[in-house]
Structures are given as structure tokens and as C-alpha cells.
Homo-oligomer: A and B are copies of this chain.
Amino acid sequence: MTDNARVRPVINRLSTAEPDFDARLETLLAWEGVSSTEVQQRVDEIIAAVRRRGDAALVELSNRLDRLAVGSMAELTLGPARLRQAYDGLPAEQREALAAAAERIRVYHEHQKPGSWQYTEADGTVLGQQVTALDRAGIYVPGGKAAYPSSVLMNAIPAHVAGVREIVMVVPTPDGVLNELVLAAAHLAGVDHVFTLGGAQAVAALAYGTETVPRVDKIVGPGNIYVATAKRAVFGQVGIDMIAGPSEILVVSDGGTDPDWLAMDLFSQAEHDEDAQAILVTWDGAHADTVAASIESLLPTMERQAIIAESLAARGALIVCRDRGEAAALINRIAPEHLELSLADPGSWLGEIRHAGAIFMGRYTAEALGDYCAGPNHVLPTSGTARFSSPLGVYDFQKRSSIINCSADGASALGRTASVLARGESLTAHARSAEYRIKP
């Protein structure tokens, strides 16, 4: 099998013992979602058009870019009744699976709700933090072949749990194609309105508002390069979530998991698109060979074989390392979006893992379970951004306000300190404002 793999590299084979390991890994991991100047200019024009001409621009752009023939925004608007109708119209099995997933996602996210807090100091001064929800959230859902009802649940339910007053969803309908499962998911997730808009024009409408589309406070959800570029451009006017790169998984195996299971777990990542990245790390070289064999024998049976094959050949890897310590170091270096610990004792690894979007523990916890219905969010930091960012959560739809309530004694004491520091910064109005509160 190893010989066979060398002849036809279905998936890259790396070993930490090779002198060029670091460079090869770096090359495999490299990803930069750059917007060309053309995309940037196009997006700037679209945003300017939507800000200037509102609904009229949305209708024109949607007709042109999504090949529609609508006359007004009314034809691009779906209300709650239409969403409920989509849900009611689903086959029972799909309706029940969607409802079961939504309920588990809701329960998990309820655990993320933080409380407001306060504490009182000896002189009566009160300090604290008040947590409030966003007024209005915008959910971008890709249309066409990548329209995923699970993404609707994962983006909208945390907003709903957070207490957002109004959840607005946009989803493009290229050539007029509507996905009933997506609308049904919107119904379940508590979405208030849907506009069948996409691209930079949908992002601009949500960020600035039009006659029909209400301005939101934050825009979340994945999209193509136009959507990502538009989100970056409107950041500051509204909040945004991370700008997502291709999806990835790092599987760490101790050699005890069925190699077919592991091959399929890698495929489940690779089937997303050609840029998706599936990597397995093990310190058992023979096990790496058996996984490679499973990959080769299962690949021809896959519906999305072409995408999987391209993804594995371009960005996939089986990495043999020396020991558990090297595997842990690789985890933190890669900071994977999905980390699958296919191991006898995954719990003992948790303390060493500093960077990972979601950690799937044990041989039974396939990433696919988390993608749909385990409960935690499937919107996760990609391309190493788990170094500094988190899964989408209730906290993304809330914000905090600091609370400061000084007693007369507290203000007098703080006033002395503030006065010295303000004068050190030559900000004398600050100093005098503080000094007014100092007791004589």
C-alpha cells in the first residue's frame, strides 16, 4: 500500500522525521483569502449603489446577478407564513430530524448565556457589567448548491437564545431556485423575515438599510469572495463574524480506531470543496498505511469522489509523528477548526490543547455529528484563527456595558488618583472634572 501510495499520491504523506517537514507542512497549510482589486472595486460600487438607491438598486442587482425578473422588493421578501409553510411541507423524517437538531442546538447555547454582575466596594462604590442583546441581527445564507439548512440553525439559534429582538435572513435565489429545507430551518430557528438577496448587495442592504430591508447591528454567516469582501468593508458600520476560509479537520489517531471510520471522517471534510483540508496525525506508521488503504478503497464509492480526490491530493495529509507529545504540538501549531481526538483517553489531552475550534473526543464522536445535531455550533474559526477566535455563540449576539456608580467617598478618593494621572497626560479638563468630586 505504501508503494502504491507513492506511485499515486491520493493523499500527501508526511513524517515529522523528514528534514523538510516544517516547510512541507507550511506549504500545505498556507491559505490566504485575498480579494483582487477588481473584486474590491466591484464590491465598493455595489455598496455605494445600495446606499444611494436602496431598494431600486437591490432589484436591479438581483435581476442582473441572480438572473431574476422581479419588479419590486415585495417579490424578494418572504414572511413568517411562507417559512412555516416550508416547514409543514417537509417529509416527516426531515422535519423531525431538523426539529431534533434545533432543540439540541438551543439547549447547548442556553449554557452560554452570561449573567450581568456587580460588586460593592467598602466605600459604597458599585462596579459591574450589564449584558444586553443586539436589537437586530442579519444572517447571510449562501444559495444555490451550498444552501445548507444546518447553517441556518447554527447561525440563527444563538441569536434567538441571546434575546435578539429581530432576526433578518438573506439568501440568494440564483435563477429563482428556493430551497425549502433552508426556509423550514429559518422557521424553526426563529428568523423573522427572509429577503431573497445575495452577494455584496445583500450585505450592503443589511449594513445600511433600505426602504424595505431594516439596518441590522451585526451580520453573520458564510459567503463567497464578494460576500467576504463586503463584510470586511462594512465592518465598523455593523459588527461581523469572522471571515471564513475553507473548512478543515485534524484527526489524531492512536491506531485503535477502524481505519474505514477515519477515512470517512476525512472524506466528510474533503467533500465540502476542493480547498477543504483533511489531515490525520498518528505516531503509528502501520496505522497510517491502513488508513491510506481505506482511503483508496472507499474513495471510488463516494458520490462526491471528484471533489474529495482533489481536496485530498491538494491539501490533505497523513502525518506520522514520533509520539504523543509531537502530536499535541502539531495541534497547537495548526490550531484546527475541527479537532478529532480518535483516542482511547481523549480527556487526558484537553489540558494540552490551547487552540482548536471544536474538539471531538473519542472514537464515536465523528465531526459529522457536531456538524448537524450534537448541539455546539458548527460555525468555527478556520485557517488557524482558532488562535484568537471562538465558535459562533450567544456571546456574538450580546454586548456588555460597564457599570460605575461612585459613592461620594469613592469619588473623592478616585478623584485624587485621576487628577494626578490626568495632569500627567496634560488633560486638565479631566483633572478638574475629577477634582470637583474631591471632598475638601
Contact = CB atoms under 8 A, between A and B. Distances in A.
A135 interface: yes
A148 B93 CA distance: 62
Contacts of A372: 414, 417-418, 421-422, 430, 434
Contacts of A267: 429, 432-433
A436 interface: yes
Given A304-B429, A360-B404, A238 B132 contact: no
A373 B271 contact: no
B235 A365 contact: no
Interface in A226-267: 232, 235-236, 238-239, 242-243, 258, 260-261, 264-265, 267
Given A267-B429, A389-B239, A127 B376 contact: yes
Contact of A428 (B217, B304, B364, B393): B304
Contact of A355 (B132, B235, B358, B366): B132
B386 A271 contact: no
A362 B236 contact: no
A64 interface: no
A375 to B, nearest CB: 5
Contacts of A235: 232, 235, 243
Nearest to A403: B359
Contacts of A169: none
A388 B268 contact: no
Interface stretch (A5-13, A53-61, A107-115, A279-287): A107-115
A149 B433 CA distance: 19
Given A405-B361, A405-B362, A428-B304, A368 B400 contact: no
Interface stretch (A21-29, A69-77, A190-198, A346-354): A346-354
A217 to B, nearest CB: 4
A209 interface: no
A270 interface: yes
A357 interface: yes
A356 B414 CA distance: 22
Given A402-B391, A433-B366, A437-B369, A150 B425 contact: yes
Dominant SS at the A interface? mixed
Interface in A32-86: 33
B366 A434 contact: yes
Interface stretch (A97-105, A170-178, A315-323): A97-105
A406 B260 contact: no
A410 B364 contact: yes
Given A235-B232, A308-B429, A401-B386, A424 B268 contact: no
Interface in A300-322: 302-304, 308
Contacts of A411: 364-366, 369
Nearest to A269: B429
A85 B369 CA distance: 56
B117 A114 contact: no
A431 interface: yes
A374 B414 contact: yes
Contacts of A427: 268, 271-272, 304
Contact of A404 (B369, B403, B434): B369
Most buried by B among A119, A260, A365: A365
A15 interface: no
B264 A414 contact: no
Contacts of A404: 358-361, 365, 369-370, 374-376
Given A235-B243, A271-B430, 5 more contacts: A98-B421, A308-B429, A364-B411, A366-B434, A369-B406
23 contacts: A93-B420, A97-B416, A98-B421, A100-B417, A101-B417, A135-B354, A239-B389, A268-B432, A355-B399, A355-B401, A359-B401, A360-B404, A362-B406, A365-B405, A368-B418, A369-B404, A369-B406, A369-B437, A372-B414, A372-B417, A372-B418, A372-B422, A386-B401
Q: Which 8 A-B pairs have the closest CB atoms?
A: A376-B402, A364-B411, A239-B388, A361-B405, A267-B429, A97-B420, A358-B402, A390-B400
